Structure 1
Amino acid sequence: MKKRVVCAFLGLAMMVSQSFTVFADTESDIRQQKAQAESQLSQTNDTIASLSEQQQQIQSEINAMDADMVDLMIQIDATKTDIASTEDGIAQKEADITEKEGEIETTAGQLQDAEADRDKQYADMKKRIQYIYENGGNEAWLNMLSGADSITSLLNKVEYAQNMHDYDRKHLEAFKEVVQQVSDLKADLENQKADLETQKSDLETQKASLESQQADLQSQQADLQAQMDEKKATSSDYEAQIATAQQQANEISNLISQQQAQLDQIAEEKRQAEEEAARQAAAEEAARQQAAAEEAARQQAAAEEASRQQAAAASSTSTSSGNSSTSQSSGNSRNNSTTNNSNAATGSSTASSGSTSTNNSTASSGSSSDKSSSTGSSGPVNSSGASGSSIVAYADQFVGNPYVWGGNSLTNGIDCSHFVYQVLKNTGAYSGGYTTSAGWRSLGTAVSSLSEARAGDVICYSGHVAIYDGNGGIVEAKGTKWGITHDRSANCKTILAIRRFT
């Protein structure tokens, strides 16, 4: 049950990890997904640790069983050796019994022969004794004594008779002793045989006990082997689960690395956007100060021109009055001439004043127009009738070229806002001045949504701007690591504005 729960947990973990995406719309989404991935990695590592601990416990049990198995095998081998030794002992006892039986049989024959000799000797002696008694007894002895030729002959006869008696007695006793010895030997051999048979019986009993002990040990060995096989299967299962969990941990670690790389990219883009905004603000401030200085200079020049014209007008009036007095004192004949001269002077002064006023107004208007164009506040568009597809085609020519923050070269290095500016300017879609990525949001014509966007439209993001390709992608100066690319979806970031210049 525990293994099934662990497997189910790992399967769920893999499904969750596969649901993560490498890129997200916002930094907060990426950080949230990274936190989830780190939590998942921690849980996976805890699972690996738990599985490893259980596998080590199983392996310890297997090692203990291995030691028990070795002991059982040693005992079984020792029992087999004892059984073989006992069988050798039984065989030896059987051989000894067979030998004793042969000796007993031989001794029985010897006893039979000795008894036969004894009986024959005894029969012969009885015949001699019977002959003596049957042939006179003491009288025979007297006849033998009286019939002796001499004392020597008599003594010889007496000695002969005594020797015969002693001979019979001696041989009879000897035969009796032989019979007794053979009889004793036979009895001893039979006792030895009985002992051997008893020993054989004991060995057979011992052998049966050893065989029973061997069977019991072999049964224990079989049971222990079955337990070891089960433990090894469990250990292999844990090993497979650990391998799966480790693969899961590696995948999550890779995912975390990708998410961290994306966060680093976002941080870099933020830094670049902030630097770009600061640079643009500085540029705008410098432009504003220059425009203010130019305006002040223009106003000062206009004031000086007005003063000059006013002085000229005053001087012209004074001269006209002097001429009039002289004319009156000279006579009526010169009055008309003076009057005509005065009118000419007045006309000249009026024309001069009108010309100066017109020129000042024109200069002022030109200066104002130049200022408006340099800040990009109006953004004239489509002066050459460029199409969206031609804008995208032109932008694609520079894919692969480097990104340089603040750069303005399509070939040697350029940033995102200058890239859009150069492409639109060079295709004739835009004739205004340069502006930042934020400035593009207020130029051109607004497009309500990405579904309404067309090729050549400008997509504005936070701190970034790109050209829409009409098929869901964008051409952009992506960053220092990537350069100019055409490989991302327009939805790679949150869209703040879409502007049209075609």
Structure 2
Amino acid sequence: MMHICGDIDIKIRIGGKMKLKRVGSVFLATALTCSLAVTPVFADEIDDLKNQKEAVQNEVSSLQSQLNSIISKITELENQLIETGEEISQTEEDLKVAQEEEEQQYEAMKLRIKYMYENGSGTATMEKVLTSGDMSSMLTQAEYSQQVHDYDREKLEEYAATVQKVEDLQTSLKEKQSQLQQSQTEFEAQQDELDATIQEKSAEVEDLDAQIDEAVRKAAEEAARKAEEERKRQEEERKKQEEEARRQQEAQQNHNNSSNSSNESAGESGGNSGGSSNSNSNGSSGGSSSGSSSSSGSSNFVPDYNQSAGQIIVSAAYSQIGVPYVWGGSTPGVGLDCSGLVQWCYRQAGISIPRTSGDIRAAGTVVSNPQPGDICWKPGHVAIYIGNGQMIEAPKPGMTVRVTSVRVVDYIRF
């Protein structure tokens, strides 16, 4: 009888454990189902946001390509404008020389005419020819008079033609310069528009990033909340099942005790197996790998700031305030364009730099902490930084070298 009761007790306990396992499996499956039901909602939202972000990033890439093309065109136009300005300066010198030669020839002709009339009028000249002696002298005198007139006329016509040719060339170059300036203005307007659009789209990308992060956070919080609710429910169910199993076990034990009262002491010694309690500690260990990426920071070489050279450069720039803007101009005190001013100022400090803004940008080093004497750069334009957010520049045709507020994309140091 004791063995039978022990077998019944073991079966009850095994059955209770199996029942608890089945219940636990059902609860686990339910928890997974709940989390899967929540996840797709957030996953769809996150995927939608990522698709929007990708579309905007593609727009930004396209706009950046357009901007790079515009910047290249601005740089090319700057080079052409400098060359054209230098050609115009040269034609002005040529025109001046031609006009001086024309004037000199005209003055010389007037002197010869005056000499001829002082030695006799046209009739007197004819008399000279007729009284020259023999026929050979007479012909020589007549030929000489005619040659003087022909020479003067040819020279005057020659110089007049030269003057006209130079004037025509100058007019053509100025028309070309005007067209180039108009194209540059249009390209700069396109650049400003693209810059604004890129900034707007970049802000949109940042906003989408924030939305994605927020959606991911909410999804994680919702999943954690659901998991915690399910864990608590499972824990309550487990406790109920354990309580039910304990009551059943106690009831069975009481039944066994009442039916085997005659052998109570033996039954107690044989059936008292001691309550074995199984404690299941369910700990969710989330392996978080914090990958610390240490960037070696291979920073580009930044030249040290030379305060002495910077002061010389700034002083040189101040000395040119009021000088007219001239395309291709590189003559201090006479006419300067933006890169002509910067190149000349650096030359005063013994520093040789390229002539155009694009080459200056390529040859120099970009710095984030500008100092007086560094170069303010943006596509197609350069100036001298003088500190306190100001610069000295040769702005554009029709204006003079002056102090203005900084307008800059990069600061360059040599």
Normalising by the residue count of structure 1, what TM-score does the alignment of the two structures yield? 0.42
- Aligned pairs for 1:420-499 within 5 A: 437-440=257-260, 477-478=271-272, 483-484=273-274
Quick check: 1:117–1:175 contact (8 Å CA) kept in 2? no
Quick check: 1:45–1:249 contact (8 Å CA) kept in 2? no
**Matched positions, count:** 265
Quick check: 1:48–1:245 contact (8 Å CA) kept in 2? yes
- Aligned pairs for 1:192-211 within 5 A: 192-211=173-192
For 1:71, the equivalent position in structure 2 comes to: 58
Quick check: 2:49–2:211 contact (8 Å CA) kept in 1? no
Q: Using the alignment, how far apart are the partners of 1:182 and 1:139 within structure 2?
A: 38
Per-residue deviation at 1:90? 4.8
Quick check: 1:118–1:175 contact (8 Å CA) kept in 2? yes
Quick check: 1:104–1:189 contact (8 Å CA) kept in 2? yes
Instruction: Check if 1:136 corresponds to 2:124.
Output: yes
Could you tell me the percent identity over the aligned residues? 9
For 1:123, the equivalent position in structure 2 comes to: 110
Structure 1 pair 68/44, CA: closer, same or farther in 2 (3 Å)?
A: same
For 1:50, the equivalent position in structure 2 comes to: 37
SS in 2 for 1:103: helix
Question: What letter matches 2:101 in structure 1?
Answer: A
Q: Using the alignment, how far apart are the partners of 1:128 and 1:143 within structure 2?
A: 19
Match of 1:212 among 190, 193, 196: 193
Per-residue deviation at 1:176? 1.4
Q: Using the alignment, how far apart are the partners of 2:136 and 2:185 within structure 1?
A: 72
**Whose Rg is larger?**
1
Per-residue deviation at 1:235? 1.6
Q: Using the alignment, how far apart are the partners of 2:211 and 2:49 within structure 1?
A: 10
Quick check: 2:60–2:201 contact (8 Å CA) kept in 1? no
1:159-218 deviations in Å (ceiling 9; x for gaps): 343144225413421331232123222222232123212211221222112212220221
Question: What letter matches 1:439 in structure 2?
Answer: S
For 1:173, the equivalent position in structure 2 comes to: 154
Per-residue deviation at 1:116? 0.9
For 1:224, the equivalent position in structure 2 comes to: 205
Instruction: Check if 1:105 corresponds to 2:86.
Output: no
For 1:498, the equivalent position in structure 2 comes to: none
Give the number of the structure with larger relative contact order, counting CA–CA contacts within 8 Å between residues 6 or more apart: 2
1:250-277 deviations in Å (ceiling 9; x for gaps): 666677788889999999x89xx8xxxx
- Aligned pairs for 1:337-352 within 5 A: none
Name stretches of at least 5 consecutive residues in structure 2 with no aligned partner. 1-11, 279-414
Per-residue deviation at 1:36? 8.5
Normalising by the residue count of structure 2, what TM-score does the alignment of the two structures yield? 0.50
Question: What letter matches 2:216 in structure 1?
Answer: S
Question: What letter matches 2:219 in structure 1?
Answer: Y
SS in 2 for 1:136: helix
Q: Using the alignment, how far apart are the partners of 2:181 and 2:267 within structure 1?
A: 108
Q: Using the alignment, how far apart are the partners of 1:54 and 1:260 within structure 2?
A: 34
Structure 1 pair 485/42, CA: closer, same or farther in 2 (3 Å)?
A: closer
Quick check: 2:88–2:174 contact (8 Å CA) kept in 1? yes
- Aligned pairs for 1:174-323 within 5 A: 174-246=155-227, 248-249=229-230
Q: Using the alignment, how far apart are the partners of 1:166 and 1:134 within structure 2?
A: 15
Q: Using the alignment, how far apart are the partners of 1:142 and 1:215 within structure 2?
A: 89
Per-residue deviation at 1:40? 6.0
Q: Using the alignment, how far apart are the partners of 2:59 and 2:270 within structure 1?
A: 77
Per-residue deviation at 1:238? 0.4
Q: Using the alignment, how far apart are the partners of 1:172 and 1:210 within structure 2?
A: 56
1:43-94 deviations in Å (ceiling 9; x for gaps): 5433311222123213312331342343244235334424533442453344
Q: Using the alignment, how far apart are the partners of 1:236 and 1:86 within structure 2?
A: 46
- Aligned pairs for 1:26-45 within 5 A: 44-45=31-32
Q: Using the alignment, how far apart are the partners of 2:182 and 2:233 within structure 1?
A: 76
Question: What letter matches 1:85 in structure 2?
Answer: S
For 1:334, the equivalent position in structure 2 comes to: none
Structure 1 pair 110/161, CA: closer, same or farther in 2 (3 Å)?
A: same
- Aligned pairs for 1:84-99 within 5 A: 84-99=71-86
Structure 1 pair 436/127, CA: closer, same or farther in 2 (3 Å)?
A: closer
Per-residue deviation at 1:134? 5.2
1:381-421 deviations in Å (ceiling 9; x for gaps): xxxxxxxxxxxxxxxxxxxxxxxxxxxxxxxxxxx89xxxx
Structure 1 pair 162/231, CA: closer, same or farther in 2 (3 Å)?
A: same
Quick check: 1:52–1:238 contact (8 Å CA) kept in 2? yes
Name stretches of at least 5 consecutive residues in structure 1 with no aligned partner. 1-24, 149-153, 274-415, 418-434, 445-457, 467-474, 489-502
Q: Using the alignment, how far apart are the partners of 2:28 and 2:223 within structure 1?
A: 14
Structure 1 pair 205/241, CA: closer, same or farther in 2 (3 Å)?
A: same
Q: Using the alignment, how far apart are the partners of 1:59 and 1:156 within structure 2?
A: 112
1:334-369 deviations in Å (ceiling 9; x for gaps): xxxxxxxxxxxxxxxxxxxxxxxxxxxxxxxxxxxx
Q: Using the alignment, how far apart are the partners of 2:277 and 2:62 within structure 1?
A: 75
1:218-256 deviations in Å (ceiling 9; x for gaps): 112212321331232112210232234345556666777
Q: Using the alignment, how far apart are the partners of 2:76 and 2:30 within structure 1?
A: 68
Q: Using the alignment, how far apart are the partners of 1:476 and 1:132 within structure 2?
A: 169
